[in-house]
Structure 1
Amino acid sequence: MPQKSQSEHATQACIAACSLCHQICLQTAMNHCLETGGKHVKAKHLRLMLNCAEICQTSANFQLTGSHFLHHLHALCAEICEACAAECDEIGDMKDCVVACQQCADSCRQMLNTQH
């Protein structure tokens, strides 16, 4: 079996980070936030969490298909994930979401640095 290159490992790690972030943001928004109420259910916050989940899923899908639009998508995914991490951190009681969003943003930024 051939060895994977460093860029293949980075791509696999980014796909995993995006998939995990999608899962955690969606699950947190639809369960924790809706059940907690208050600032957790403000429209701006829920929209951002759902946007984050969606862009992460799209980013993972685009990576799996080798899309030539990845450079743009990685930049956008990182930006949205960073915004979501910051807002979830500010609201509080959402550590898993903050960590997943920041890891996804970091992974997307790393992919940006490896692309031509």
Structure 2
Amino acid sequence: MEITSAMQDCIDACDNCHQACLQTALTHCLEMGGRHVEPNHFRLMLDCAAVCEMSANLQLSGSRFSSRICALCADICHACALSCLELDGMEECVRACEACEHSCHQMQA
């Protein structure tokens, strides 16, 4: 299986989003407290990091399930971006989620 430039862009977006969500959740959000660690928001950030990592891994392995995971990844990234928009200091996470959502939508098509 050859990795196309579109696939590599999506893998990179997924890797970036995985890192941004995990790092932001475990540093910024924990330090801020309050709404930043509200259970639904915090779990969503960890879910987003996990699905982005899985999406990148399945694309790298050429899995026949990668397009289905990309669809789920796009949905979770969208929800995470909306949740992060409501809080202070979450711009990097929002940008990473939006880029990953866009890229995953392209890959699922």
For the aligned pair, the TM-score class normalised by the smaller chain equals over 0.9
RMSD: 1.2
Residue aligning to 1:111: 107
> 1:64 offset after TM fit, Å?
0.4
3-state SS of paired residue (1:91) = coil
Deviations 1:26-75 (A, max 9, x none): 00000000001110010111100000000000000000000000121010
Is the aligned partner of 1:45 residue 2:41?
yes
User: Sequence identity of aligned pairs in percent?
Assistant: 55
Match of 1:91 among 72, 87, 94: 87
* TM-score between the two structures when normalised by the length of structure 2: 0.95
1:66-81 to structure 2, matched below 5 A, reads 66-81=62-77
Deviations 1:56-112 (A, max 9, x none): 000000000000001210100000000000100012320000000000000000111
> Which residue identity is paired with 2:28?
H
The whole-number CA distance in structure 2 between the counterparts of 1:112 and 1:59 is: 11
How many residue pairs match? The answer is 108
The whole-number CA distance in structure 1 between the counterparts of 2:26 and 2:89 is: 15
* TM-score between the two structures when normalised by the length of structure 1: 0.90
Residue aligning to 1:35: 31
The whole-number CA distance in structure 2 between the counterparts of 1:108 and 1:84 is: 14
Task: Give every structure 1 segment of 4 or more consecutive aligned residues whose post-TM-superposition deviation is greater than 3 Å.
Answer: none
The whole-number CA distance in structure 2 between the counterparts of 1:99 and 1:19 is: 13
Is the aligned partner of 1:65 residue 2:61?
yes
